[in-house]
Amino acid sequence: MVKPLSQEDGIFLSDLKKLLDFSPKNLDYYKKAFTHRSIKLIDTKGNPINYERLEFLGDAMLGAVIASYLYKKAPEGSEGYLTQMRSKIVSREHLNELGKDLNLIQFVKSNIDQANVGDNIHGNIFEALIGAIYMDRGYNFCQKFINVYVITDYVDLDKLEGKITSYKGLIIEWCQKNKKKYSFDTYEDTGNESVKHFSVKISIDGEQIAKGRATSKKKAEEQASKRVFFTLQNEIAES
């Protein structure tokens, strides 16, 4: 005899059906996919119940489906080209956008306020959802979901070829190619704010070109690098 769903689970199942366009068989996978580690749930064996393992699985499934798509879509693409395109499609920035567009954060159970969890949670739970679909319904359902929500709506190879996923990487590559000396001077810059900030100054051939400031070193460096790109874009385009 099938145990009747609680009112909360019934609402969750109904929302999932609308999102996935199919009916889940095992709701537990999806509940785990939206459980943050801050809840500190454990199973009967003492193992943590949260989305992190499903995120790992979903990342692998997403990469496999995208690799298969690119292999068929770009028959003349080299290994390097295919790898670059896959990296752009499954970039953290892109996955965060996908998670936000689907408003997956509405399902997350966490002891941390949503305003303080950071942008990456959107991409993390998107991958965890893919992992849950795979565990619940197998590869074909997983592939269909990725085709609908990733490939059909977001993948345009012509546009992706010109998309810059890392301004810092681009600036470093350009400097090395043109034998220019560059430096990233990054330091903590909290000031009077309660949240820690970092600032970075980028210099090329001894001349400071741009500055950036953000809540992480990586974001500050990327922000400053983007400003360097737009300052020197004509020189970069000509090289």
Of these residues, 59, 136, 221, 222, which one is catalytic?
59
Burial of residue 116 (CB within 10 Å: 0-12, 13-18, 19+) is exposed
| Token couple for 144 | 């269909």
Tracing tokens 């752009």 back to the chain, one arrives at 88
E strands present in the chain: 41-42, 48-49, 182-188, 198-204, 207-214
- In sequence order, the 6+-apart residues with CB closer than 8 A to the CB of 16 are 24, 27, 30
59 counts as catalytic: yes
Of these residues, 55, 127, 221, 222, which one is catalytic?
127
Backbone angles phi, psi at 235, to 5 degrees: -65, -40
**From CA 69, how far away is CA 63, in angstroms rounded?**
10
CB 67 within 8 A of CB 79: no
21 counts as catalytic: no
- In sequence order, the 6+-apart residues with CB closer than 8 A to the CB of 28 are none
**From CA 30, how far away is CA 24, in angstroms rounded?**
8
Nearest residue to 89 (alpha-carbon basis) of 152, 169, 139: 152
Active site residues: 59, 127
